[in-house]
Structure 1
């Protein structure tokens, strides 16, 4: 489901996090930076995470 390097979010919201390790299929180790640029690391249950999907905004000609 997840692989190292994936960008994920908690299903309840919060900052974008990077998957840094997969302990097993049930627990995922994630890292993220807070607003002070401090790095945090925490293990989350995989069922609480969703993959982040960036939305590409179409370019519009201004004239």
Structure 2
């Protein structure tokens, strides 16, 4: 279980843009996951990540 919650700002451990968590999926088929949003060239992008790949910033 992670300590992440909606509204938290996170980043992939490998780097990349700052992202905001918009949904929590504790029972996702690939493990506990969260849905994140960030902007790429002024356009919002959304993707789901397993929490083990993320760090708080």
TM-score by length of 1: 0.78
User: Which residue, 8, 15, 18 being the options, matches 1:16?
Assistant: 18
Hey, which of these two has a bigger chunk of strand by percent?
Answer: 2
Aligned length: 51
Runs of 4+ in structure 1 over 2 Å off: none
Any stretches of 5+ residues in structure 2 without a counterpart? none
CA RMSD, Structure 1 to Structure 2 (Å): 1.0
> Which has the higher Rg, Structure 1 or Structure 2?
1
Partner of 2:6: 4
- Give the match for residue 37 of structure 1: 42
The alpha-carbon deviation at position 2 of structure 1 amounts to 0.1
Greater relative contact order (CA < 8 Å, ≥ 6 in sequence): 2
1:48-59 equivalences in 2 (<5 Å): 48-52=53-57
* TM-score normalised per structure 2: 0.85
